[in-house]
A = this chain, B = another copy of it.
Protein backbone atom coordinates (compact mmCIF):
# COMPACT_ATOMS: atom_id res chain seq x y z
CA UNK A 1 0.00 0.00 0.00
CA UNK A 2 1.15 3.56 -0.72
CA UNK A 3 0.50 6.89 0.93
CA UNK A 4 0.22 10.38 -0.55
CA UNK A 5 1.84 13.34 1.17
CA UNK A 6 1.20 16.96 0.25
CA UNK A 7 3.32 19.88 1.43
CA UNK A 8 1.13 22.94 0.98
CA UNK A 9 3.29 26.05 1.15
CA UNK A 10 2.69 29.70 0.37
CA UNK A 11 4.92 29.52 -2.71
CA UNK A 12 4.83 25.89 -3.87
CA UNK A 13 2.71 22.82 -3.46
CA UNK A 14 4.77 19.63 -3.43
CA UNK A 15 3.21 16.19 -3.37
CA UNK A 16 4.54 12.67 -3.51
CA UNK A 17 3.69 9.00 -3.23
CA UNK A 18 5.45 7.46 -0.26
CA UNK A 19 5.96 3.81 0.68
CA UNK A 20 5.24 2.51 4.17
CA UNK A 21 8.99 2.69 4.80
CA UNK A 22 8.98 6.43 4.10
CA UNK A 23 10.58 6.30 0.64
CA UNK A 24 9.31 8.67 -2.02
CA UNK A 25 8.19 6.76 -5.12
CA UNK A 26 7.39 9.80 -7.24
CA UNK A 27 6.92 13.46 -6.44
CA UNK A 28 6.05 16.66 -8.24
CA UNK A 29 5.63 20.36 -7.53
CA UNK A 30 3.38 23.17 -8.75
CA UNK A 31 3.22 26.86 -7.91
CA UNK A 32 0.66 27.73 -5.25
CA UNK A 33 -2.04 29.74 -7.07
CA UNK A 34 -2.00 33.34 -5.85
CA UNK A 35 -4.98 34.86 -4.06
CA UNK A 36 -6.92 31.63 -4.55
CA UNK A 37 -9.92 30.31 -2.68
CA UNK A 38 -9.52 27.15 -0.57
CA UNK A 39 -11.71 25.37 -3.16
CA UNK A 40 -9.34 26.38 -5.96
CA UNK A 41 -6.31 25.21 -3.96
CA UNK A 42 -8.04 21.89 -3.21
CA UNK A 43 -8.65 21.47 -6.94
CA UNK A 44 -5.00 22.17 -7.78
CA UNK A 45 -3.84 19.67 -5.16
CA UNK A 46 -6.25 17.00 -6.40
CA UNK A 47 -5.05 17.42 -9.98
CA UNK A 48 -1.42 17.22 -8.83
CA UNK A 49 -2.14 14.04 -6.83
CA UNK A 50 -3.90 12.28 -9.71
CA UNK A 51 -1.11 13.27 -12.09
CA UNK A 52 1.50 11.76 -9.75
CA UNK A 53 -0.56 8.58 -9.30
CA UNK A 54 -0.77 8.17 -13.10
CA UNK A 55 2.92 9.02 -13.48
CA UNK A 56 3.84 6.25 -11.06
CA UNK A 57 1.75 3.75 -13.01
CA UNK A 58 -0.60 3.33 -10.07
CA UNK A 59 -4.33 3.81 -9.66
CA UNK A 60 -6.26 5.65 -6.96
CA UNK A 61 -7.00 2.39 -5.13
CA UNK A 62 -3.28 1.88 -4.48
CA UNK A 63 -3.25 4.99 -2.25
CA UNK A 64 -4.45 4.35 1.27
CA UNK A 65 -4.86 7.94 2.44
CA UNK A 66 -3.63 11.48 1.88
CA UNK A 67 -1.83 13.67 4.41
CA UNK A 68 -1.42 17.41 3.97
CA UNK A 69 0.97 19.61 5.93
CA UNK A 70 0.32 23.31 6.27
CA UNK A 71 2.45 26.18 7.62
CA UNK A 72 -0.10 27.13 10.22
CA UNK A 73 -2.29 25.81 13.01
CA UNK A 74 -4.62 22.92 12.26
CA UNK A 75 -7.30 21.01 14.15
CA UNK A 76 -6.58 17.48 12.91
CA UNK A 77 -9.71 15.85 14.34
CA UNK A 78 -11.99 18.35 12.64
CA UNK A 79 -9.95 18.57 9.42
CA UNK A 80 -9.80 22.33 9.84
CA UNK A 81 -6.99 24.77 9.07
CA UNK A 82 -7.44 27.21 11.94
CA UNK A 83 -4.97 29.87 10.82
CA UNK A 84 -2.59 29.90 7.87
CA UNK A 85 -1.32 33.41 7.25
CA UNK A 86 0.55 32.56 4.01
CA UNK A 87 -2.58 31.18 2.36
CA UNK A 88 -5.03 33.57 4.01
CA UNK A 89 -6.91 30.61 5.57
CA UNK A 90 -8.89 31.06 8.77
CA UNK A 91 -11.09 28.21 10.04
CA UNK A 92 -11.19 26.51 6.64
CA UNK A 93 -12.53 22.91 6.59
CA UNK A 94 -9.78 22.08 4.14
CA UNK A 95 -9.68 18.38 4.95
CA UNK A 96 -13.28 17.96 3.82
CA UNK A 97 -12.82 20.10 0.69
CA UNK A 98 -9.95 17.88 -0.35
CA UNK A 99 -11.66 14.61 0.61
CA UNK A 100 -14.52 15.56 -1.72
CA UNK A 101 -12.05 16.10 -4.56
CA UNK A 102 -9.93 13.02 -3.94
CA UNK A 103 -12.40 10.47 -2.67
CA UNK A 104 -9.88 9.58 0.02
CA UNK A 105 -9.49 10.20 3.74
CA UNK A 106 -7.40 13.34 4.24
CA UNK A 107 -5.41 14.15 7.38
CA UNK A 108 -4.03 17.60 8.16
CA UNK A 109 -0.90 18.39 10.13
CA UNK A 110 1.25 21.40 10.91
CA UNK A 111 4.38 21.44 8.71
CA UNK A 112 6.88 21.48 11.58
CA UNK A 113 5.14 18.47 13.12
CA UNK A 114 5.16 16.69 9.75
CA UNK A 115 8.90 17.26 9.39
CA UNK A 116 9.50 15.92 12.91
CA UNK A 117 7.41 12.83 12.20
CA UNK A 118 9.28 12.23 8.93
CA UNK A 119 12.69 12.36 10.60
CA UNK A 120 11.35 10.13 13.39
CA UNK A 121 9.86 7.55 11.06
CA UNK A 122 12.25 7.55 8.14
CA UNK A 123 15.10 9.97 8.74
CA UNK A 124 17.67 10.92 11.37
CA UNK A 125 15.58 9.44 14.19
CA UNK A 126 14.51 6.16 12.60
CA UNK A 127 14.03 3.57 15.32
CA UNK A 128 14.16 6.01 18.22
CA UNK A 129 11.52 6.42 20.91
CA UNK A 130 11.46 10.20 21.22
CA UNK A 131 12.56 12.97 18.90
CA UNK A 132 12.48 16.73 19.15
CA UNK A 133 13.10 18.66 15.96
CA UNK A 134 14.19 22.27 15.57
CA UNK A 135 14.12 23.90 12.16
CA UNK A 136 16.43 26.88 11.90
CA UNK A 137 14.97 29.09 9.21
CA UNK A 138 13.27 32.48 9.03
CA UNK A 139 12.06 31.54 12.50
CA UNK A 140 12.62 28.43 14.58
CA UNK A 141 10.05 25.71 14.01
CA UNK A 142 9.60 22.82 16.37
CA UNK A 143 8.07 19.38 16.46
CA UNK A 144 7.83 16.72 19.16
CA UNK A 145 7.30 12.98 18.57
CA UNK A 146 7.04 10.66 21.55
CA UNK A 147 6.25 6.93 21.43
CA UNK A 148 5.03 6.93 17.81
CA UNK A 149 2.86 9.96 18.33
CA UNK A 150 3.13 13.65 17.49
CA UNK A 151 2.73 15.60 20.72
CA UNK A 152 0.90 18.84 19.96
CA UNK A 153 -0.71 19.76 23.27
CA UNK A 154 -4.27 20.62 24.15
CA UNK A 155 -4.67 23.01 21.21
CA UNK A 156 -2.25 21.56 18.62
CA UNK A 157 0.00 24.58 19.17
CA UNK A 158 2.73 22.90 21.24
CA UNK A 159 6.32 22.68 20.08
CA UNK A 160 6.99 26.41 19.76
CA UNK A 161 10.53 25.88 20.98
CA UNK A 162 11.59 29.09 19.22
CA UNK A 163 9.51 31.01 21.72
CA UNK A 164 11.27 30.18 24.94
CA UNK A 165 12.94 33.28 26.33
CA UNK A 166 16.71 32.90 26.64
CA UNK A 167 17.35 36.59 27.35
CA UNK A 168 14.58 38.16 29.40
CA UNK A 169 13.96 41.70 28.15
CA UNK A 170 16.23 41.17 25.14
CA UNK A 171 15.62 41.36 21.37
CA UNK A 172 12.04 41.89 20.24
CA UNK A 173 10.43 38.78 18.82
CA UNK A 174 7.56 38.81 16.34
CA UNK A 175 5.50 36.72 18.79
CA UNK A 176 5.23 39.70 21.11
CA UNK A 177 7.74 38.56 23.72
CA UNK A 178 11.27 39.82 24.17
CA UNK A 179 14.39 37.67 24.19
CA UNK A 180 13.03 34.58 22.45
CA UNK A 181 15.39 31.82 21.29
CA UNK A 182 14.15 32.48 17.74
CA UNK A 183 15.32 36.10 17.94
CA UNK A 184 18.88 34.86 18.61
CA UNK A 185 19.25 31.51 16.87
CA UNK A 186 17.10 31.50 13.71
CA UNK A 187 18.79 31.95 10.32
CA UNK A 188 17.30 35.47 10.36
CA UNK A 189 19.08 36.18 13.66
CA UNK A 190 22.36 34.82 12.28
CA UNK A 191 22.05 37.20 9.32
CA UNK A 192 21.45 40.10 11.72
CA UNK A 193 24.54 39.14 13.76
CA UNK A 194 26.51 38.86 10.52
CA UNK A 195 25.45 42.28 9.24
CA UNK A 196 26.12 43.93 12.61
CA UNK A 197 29.64 42.50 12.67
CA UNK A 198 30.27 43.51 9.03
CA UNK A 199 29.42 47.11 9.86
CA UNK A 200 32.07 47.05 12.59
CA UNK A 201 34.61 45.34 10.33
CA UNK A 202 34.86 46.92 6.89
CA UNK A 203 37.86 44.69 6.09
CA UNK A 204 36.10 41.39 6.79
CA UNK A 205 36.05 38.75 4.05
CA UNK A 206 32.29 38.67 4.64
CA UNK A 207 31.97 41.86 2.53
CA UNK A 208 33.49 40.29 -0.54
CA UNK A 209 31.55 37.05 -0.04
CA UNK A 210 28.17 38.71 0.40
CA UNK A 211 28.70 41.72 -1.86
CA UNK A 212 26.48 43.90 0.27
CA UNK A 213 24.58 43.91 3.54
CA UNK A 214 21.37 43.15 1.66
CA UNK A 215 22.85 39.98 0.20
CA UNK A 216 24.02 38.43 3.47
CA UNK A 217 22.91 34.83 3.80
CA UNK A 218 22.88 32.26 6.59
CA UNK A 219 26.08 30.79 5.15
CA UNK A 220 28.06 34.05 4.79
CA UNK A 221 29.69 33.93 8.23
CA UNK A 222 30.32 30.18 8.01
CA UNK A 223 32.06 30.56 4.67
CA UNK A 224 34.18 33.48 5.87
CA UNK A 225 35.05 31.68 9.11
CA UNK A 226 36.29 28.73 7.05
CA UNK A 227 38.72 31.24 5.50
CA UNK A 228 39.88 32.25 9.01
CA UNK A 229 38.13 35.63 8.96
CA UNK A 230 38.29 36.76 12.59
CA UNK A 231 35.09 38.81 12.55
CA UNK A 232 33.20 35.88 11.03
CA UNK A 233 34.60 33.52 13.64
CA UNK A 234 33.27 35.88 16.31
CA UNK A 235 29.84 35.81 14.67
CA UNK A 236 29.82 32.00 14.64
CA UNK A 237 31.02 31.82 18.22
CA UNK A 238 28.28 34.20 19.39
CA UNK A 239 25.61 32.43 17.33
CA UNK A 240 26.74 29.03 18.61
CA UNK A 241 26.45 30.23 22.22
CA UNK A 242 22.85 31.33 21.61
CA UNK A 243 21.97 28.13 19.76
CA UNK A 244 23.56 25.93 22.41
CA UNK A 245 21.77 27.78 25.19
CA UNK A 246 18.35 27.04 23.74
CA UNK A 247 19.25 23.49 22.72
CA UNK A 248 20.58 22.67 26.20
CA UNK A 249 17.37 23.99 27.78
CA UNK A 250 15.31 21.85 25.40
CA UNK A 251 17.44 18.79 26.20
CA UNK A 252 16.99 19.46 29.93
CA UNK A 253 13.23 19.48 29.43
CA UNK A 254 12.89 16.48 27.11
CA UNK A 255 16.07 14.40 27.21
CA UNK A 256 14.81 13.07 23.88
CA UNK A 257 16.58 10.14 22.32
CA UNK A 258 17.25 12.33 19.29
CA UNK A 259 17.38 16.10 18.92
CA UNK A 260 17.28 16.79 15.20
CA UNK A 261 18.32 20.12 13.64
CA UNK A 262 16.78 20.97 10.28
CA UNK A 263 16.46 23.99 8.02
CA UNK A 264 18.97 25.55 5.66
CA UNK A 265 21.65 26.04 8.32
CA UNK A 266 21.69 22.32 9.10
CA UNK A 267 23.59 21.95 5.81
CA UNK A 268 26.63 23.19 7.76
CA UNK A 269 26.57 19.79 9.50
CA UNK A 270 29.25 19.21 12.10
CA UNK A 271 30.67 22.71 11.58
CA UNK A 272 27.41 23.89 13.16
CA UNK A 273 26.82 21.07 15.65
CA UNK A 274 30.27 20.28 16.99
CA UNK A 275 30.69 23.49 19.06
CA UNK A 276 27.07 23.24 20.20
CA UNK A 277 27.73 19.69 21.39
CA UNK A 278 30.75 20.91 23.35
CA UNK A 279 28.55 23.32 25.33
CA UNK A 280 25.80 20.71 25.69
CA UNK A 281 28.30 18.18 27.09
CA UNK A 282 29.26 20.75 29.73
CA UNK A 283 25.79 22.05 30.62
CA UNK A 284 23.28 19.21 30.06
CA UNK A 285 21.72 18.43 33.43
CA UNK A 286 22.05 14.73 32.60
CA UNK A 287 25.61 14.99 31.28
CA UNK A 288 26.66 12.09 33.53
CA UNK A 289 23.87 9.73 32.43
CA UNK A 290 24.82 6.63 30.50
CA UNK A 291 22.20 7.48 27.89
CA UNK A 292 22.43 10.92 26.35
CA UNK A 293 20.44 12.75 23.70
CA UNK A 294 21.92 12.35 20.22
CA UNK A 295 22.23 15.77 18.55
CA UNK A 296 22.05 15.25 14.77
CA UNK A 297 21.20 17.06 11.57
CA UNK A 298 18.05 16.28 9.64
CA UNK A 299 18.34 13.82 6.72
CA UNK A 300 15.26 14.41 4.61
CA UNK A 301 15.62 18.09 3.68
CA UNK A 302 12.69 19.54 1.76
CA UNK A 303 11.07 16.11 1.39
CA UNK A 304 10.32 15.94 5.12
CA UNK A 305 6.93 17.64 4.74
CA UNK A 306 5.73 15.21 2.04
CA UNK A 307 7.04 12.15 3.91
CA UNK A 308 5.71 13.20 7.31
CA UNK A 309 2.28 14.10 5.94
CA UNK A 310 2.09 10.84 3.99
CA UNK A 311 3.00 8.72 7.00
CA UNK A 312 0.39 10.22 9.33
CA UNK A 313 -1.98 7.23 8.99
CA UNK A 314 0.81 4.91 10.16
CA UNK A 315 1.16 6.71 13.49
CA UNK A 316 -1.23 7.38 16.37
CA UNK A 317 -2.11 11.00 15.91
* Contact assessment for B146 and A130 in the assembled complex, using a CB-CB cutoff below 8 Å: no
Interface of A is mostly: loop
Among A167, A249, A250: residue with most chain B CB under 10 A: A249
A207 contacts the other chain (CB 8 A): no
**A35 on the interface (CB 8 Å rule)?**
no
Residues of B near A242 (CB, < 8 A) are: 168
Q: Report B-chain residues with C-beta under 8 Å of the C-beta of A282.
A: 176
Q: List residues of chain B with CB within 8 A of the CB of A245.
A: 165, 168
A44 CA to B236 CA in the complex, in Å?
Answer: 56
Query: Does chain B have a CB within 8 A of A89?
Result: no
Q: Which of A188-233 contact B (CB under 8 A)?
A: none
Contacts of A302 in B (CB 8 A): none
Q: Which residues of B contact A29 (CB under 8 A)?
A: none
- Smallest CB-CB separation from A282: which chain B residue? B176
Cβ A249 vs Cβ B289 within 8 A: no
Is A234 interfacial (CB-CB < 8 Å)?
no
- Complex contact B285–A253 (CB within 8 A): no
Copies of this chain in its oligomeric complex: 2
Contact B153 A256 (CB under 8 A): yes
Q: Out of B142, B154, B252, which one reaches A130, CB within 8 Å?
A: B154
Q: Which of B159, B161, B248, B256 contacts A154 (CB 8 A)?
A: B256
Decide: B129 and A154 in contact? CB cutoff 8 A: yes
How many chain A residues sit at the interface, stated as a range, is 35 or more
Stretch of A12-20, A63-71, A266-274, A290-298 that contacts chain B: A290-298
CA distance A128 to B98 in the complex (A): 32
Q: Answer whether residue A1 sits at the interface, using C-beta atoms and an 8 A cutoff.
A: no
Q: Contact flags (1/0) for A157-180 with B, using CB distance below 8 Å? A: 111110111111000000111000
CB distance from A244 to the nearest CB of B (A): 10
CB distance from A111 to the nearest CB of B (A): 16
- State whether A289 touches B157 (Cβ < 8 A): yes
A152 adjacent to chain B (CB < 8 Å): yes
By beta carbon, the residue of chain B nearest A170 is B168
A153 touches B255 (CB 8 A): yes
- CA A146 to CA B290, docked complex, whole Å: 25
The one of B153, B158, B167, B254 in contact with A168, judged by C-beta atoms closer than 8 angstroms, is B167
Known interface pairs A168-B245, A177-B248, A282-B176. Does A255 touch B129 (Cβ–Cβ under 8 Å)? no
Q: Which residues of B contact A292 (CB under 8 A)?
A: 154-155
Cβ–Cβ contact A253 & B256, under 8 A: no
